[in-house]
Structure 1
Amino acid sequence: MTTGNGPDDGDETPAPGTPGGPGQFSEEEIAAVTGPGPDDAELDGVEAAAIEEDSDDNENVPDLQSSFEKLVAKSRNLSPDRIRTVLESVLFVAERPLSVDELYQATGIPREPILQAMDQLSGIHREGISGVVLYEVAGGWQFRTDPHSAEYVRRYLRVKPQRLTRAAVETLAIIAYRQPVTRPELEDIRGVDCGAVLKALMDRKLVKILGKREEVGRPILYGTTREFLEFFALKDLSALPTLREFHELTQEHRDIVEKEAAPPAPPATGTVAALSDPNFTKRMEKNAAASEAALEELEEAMAAAERSQKVSASILESPPSPEKGDSEGPKPE
């Protein structure tokens, strides 16, 4: 049965490019563009050419001494703002803290302007103000991320915070404050074997061997490293907190914890109503009289206890027996 006056629908062929019809490109042409063709392997046997210019000519090799002298001469004409930006760039690309001497060797800027620029950069890049903070650690200067942004930085880098175990912290603290120190001294202080912890700290490059003590057995002496200062963001060993500062810091943290954990003060509901009660004053006077009476009784009890203590002390303290020849009293001079 047909649906129209034309030829049968089953014999009709759609035009090229229309839905249901043949495409504009053949299968070979599509495969040549989208699929892996035989031309992909045509460079397998070809050696890559050098695309960077290689200057083997000795004439093109700069003299380091003369180039540094030119750099020093050029640095003398730099403005303070330019000096600050140059040092900021060098510190940004540095992988470790750079000292003033290293900055001088890298830039040719005199040391005095470097110190002045470091003071300015420390004020610009400080905690709470800048996302990148300039720290003076391990005898040098280094840019680090702001500690307040650590959570976000760790999430982006997908890394966990580095935390040391209690045993490692105890061992490291003993070494830091008492270096150079031997392993027997460590174990005598901690009361346990420290070999495994000591080896782990050396693997982390937080502890190193300083030498051997000149005594029987020549025990090995251990001390902290530069990486230890960088890990704890310390300028040098003198930046370690003293015992007094540690106690003050501990007390400060304890006060903060107690303040945060303190229960909230009860609301002053009913205070106005209590003050407006006519019997409130009488009750307060009665309670005050009772408190004074109790205080007097307490004072009398304390006085009685003090008298009893004096009597007991006089009984227990026996007078010294006079020696022979001293019964007549002291002889006049």
Structure 2
Amino acid sequence: MNIKKTEAAIEAILFTMGESVEAEKIAAAIDHDVDTTVKIIHNMMDKYEAEDRGIKIIELDKSFQLCTKQEFYDNLIKVCSQPRKYTLSDAALETLSIIAYKQPITKLEIEKIRGVNSDRAVNKLIELELAKEVGRLDAPGRPMLFGTTEEFLRTFGVQSIDELPVISEDMIEQYKEEAEYEVASEIKSSDDGEQLTLNI
């Protein structure tokens, strides 16, 4: 199979699957070793960019996916349903940051860092497919371990968690302070609501 047919085969695989495909599986499908396959795909990625096409190939932790470029979002929503969008609360974003940098991590460890209960934040991240259960800790009670997902990589535009910027201990302390402030604000709001009810 010549290089053009090989690239066409890879393009067909990625288009048909519609989600990320591991490099090993692509290599097996085109009868090449993994290193050669990755080089071919990287070359395709460069071609897509040079030709200013509406699609691109992204790399996600040893997997590849064919997708549309973000600059054509306005054109796409005119012919299809609006893609899912979401806004993360400060609590969810802090929790996601902790999971990303400390994974695999238990909910108890997350709460020790934040200083507050994090059930709601963790559940929201799982609902949005930004975090997932990745196993269980070999300890009494076998608590769940959480980590990030491919959706997390896509959302934040990185190929793997190794590309995340370095975070300092000061930032972790800041997260804890913000979490404590968040809880204090919720308690105050709750107290104000109760007082208002009594006055009525």
Shift of 1:96: 1.5
Whether 2:101 is the aligned partner of 1:177: answer yes
Equivalent residues in 2 for 1:4-23 (5 A)? Answer: none
2:165 to 230, 238, 241: 241
CA distance in 1, matches of 2:85, 2:51: 22
**Of 196, 199, 216, which residue of structure 1 is paired with 2:123?**
199
How far apart are 1:161 and its partner, in Å?
A: 4.6
Distance 1:201 1:152 in 2: 29
Question: Which has the bigger relative contact order, CA under 8 A and spacing at least 6?
Answer: 2
Aligned residues: 167
Contact 1:87 1:103 in 2 (8 A): yes
2:3 corresponds in structure 1 to 80
Q: Post-superposition shift, 1:145?
A: 0.8
Residues in 1 aligned to 2:77 and 2:94: alpha-carbon distance in whole angstroms: 26
The secondary structure found in structure 2 opposite 1:222 is strand
> Quick check: 2:18–2:66 contact (8 Å CA) kept in 1?
no
Consecutive unaligned residues in structure 1, runs of 5 or more: 1-77, 248-333
User: Does the 8 Å contact 1:138/1:235 carry over to 2?
Assistant: yes
The structure whose residues are more often strand, as a share, is 2
Deviation at 1:135, TM superposition (A): 0.7
1:242 aligned counterpart, secondary structure: coil
Structure 1 residue 127: deviation in Å? 8.4
Q: Contact (CA 8 Å) 1:126, 1:134: kept in 2 or not? A: no
TM-score normalised by the chain length of structure 1: 0.44
Q: Percent identity?
A: 25
TM-score between both structures, scaled by the size of structure 2: 0.70
Larger helix percent: 2
Is the contact between residue 176 and residue 224 of structure 1 (CA under 8 Å) also seen in structure 2? yes
Among 97, 103, 114, the alignment partner of 2:37 is: 114
If you compute each CA radius of gyration, which structure gives the higher value, 1 or 2? 1
Question: Unpaired segments of 5 or more residues in structure 2?
Answer: 172-200
1:220 corresponding residue in structure 2? 144
Distance 2:50 2:156 in 1: 16
Matched, 1:211 2:140: no
Q: Alignment partner of 1:243: what SS? A: coil
Deviations 1:43-76 (A, max 9, x none): xxxxxxxxxxxxxxxxxxxxxxxxxxxxxxxxxx
How has the CA–CA distance of structure 1 residues 179 and 110 changed in structure 2, closer, same or farther, with 3 Å as cutoff? closer
